[in-house]
């Protein structure tokens, strides 16, 4: 089975393992984390054909032929993605376990809706949980990233 991850083709033997397990254990892409394991927390968010999904609720067998992007794909030539930079500038994390998921969800949101209201952001990111409670700074970071991307 061939997976297209971050622009490269990878041959994997997935069985009925989840996309998250294959990304982490076979490909060494450990940016996506397992949090709840039931699609609730968003720590395992990855983009499949541009849309955020839960890596823990997707079987790797479901996604050959699709474009899979993880947090590792965002930095280009040593340059952080504007959403990543905004998270740093706004100090939008404490322990940072949830951060890759939040950043990928925010990237998808801003692709879909380049000028979201604060309510749009809250609604879209409501399925990403931050147990340190950095929500206010995350909100500021996404607003700021939106400005920089426009």
Partner 1 sequence: MNPIKFLEPTNFTEAISLLDQHADDAKIIAGGVSVTLMLQQKLIAPSALISLGHISNYAFIRHEKDGLHIGALTKLRDIERSDVVKKFCPALAYTFSVVANVRVRNQATIGGNLSAADYAADPPAMLTALDARVQVQGAEKNREIHLSEFFLGFYTTALEPNEILTEVIIPTLPSSASAAYHKYTSISAEGRPCVAVGAVADFDNDRKCSDLRIAVGAAVETPQRVRDAETLAHGSTLTDELVAAIADEYSLRLDPLTDVRGSAWYRKEMIRVFVKRALEEVRCDR
Binding site for partner 1 (CB under 8 A): 15-16, 18, 37-42, 45, 48, 51-54, 56-59, 61-62, 105, 124, 126-129
Rounded to 5 degrees, φ, ψ at 107 are -60, -45
> Is the C-alpha dihedral spanning 50, 53, 54, 58 positive or negative?
negative
Quick one: 63 or 92, whose CB is closer to partner 1? 63
What is the DSSP-derived secondary structure letter of residue 51? E
Q: Which is nearer to partner 1, 79 or 126 (CB)?
A: 126
Q: In the complex, what is the shortest distance from the CB of residue 36 to partner 1, in angstroms, rounded to a whole number?
A: 9
- Least separation in angstroms between residue 64's CB and partner 1 is 10
Q: What count of other Cβ atoms lies within 10 Å of the Cβ of residue 135?
A: 16
Q: Which residue lies nearer to partner 1 by CB, 51 or 148?
A: 51
* Sign, Cα dihedral of 123, 127, 128, 131: positive
CB of 7 vs partner 1, minimal distance in Å: 21
């Amino acid at each position: 089975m061939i997976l297209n991850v971050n622009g490269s083709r990878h041959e994997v033997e997935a069985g009925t393992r989840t996309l998250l397990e294959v990304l982490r254990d076979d490909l060494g892409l450990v940016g996506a984390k397992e949090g709840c394991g039931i699609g609730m927390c968003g720590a395992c968010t990855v983009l499949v054909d541009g849309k955020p999904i839960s890596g823990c609720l997707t079987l790797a067998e479901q996604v050959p032929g699709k474009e899979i992007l993880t947090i590792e794909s965002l930095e280009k030539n040593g340059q952080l993605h504007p959403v990543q930079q905004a998270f740093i500038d706004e100090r939008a994390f404490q322990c940072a376990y949830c951060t890759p998921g939040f950043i990928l969800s925010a990237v998808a949101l801003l692709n879909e809706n380049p000028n979201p209201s604060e309510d749009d952001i809250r609604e879209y990111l409501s399925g990403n949980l931050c147990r340190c409670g950095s929500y206010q700074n995350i909100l500021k970071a996404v607003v700021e990233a939106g400005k920089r991307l426009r």
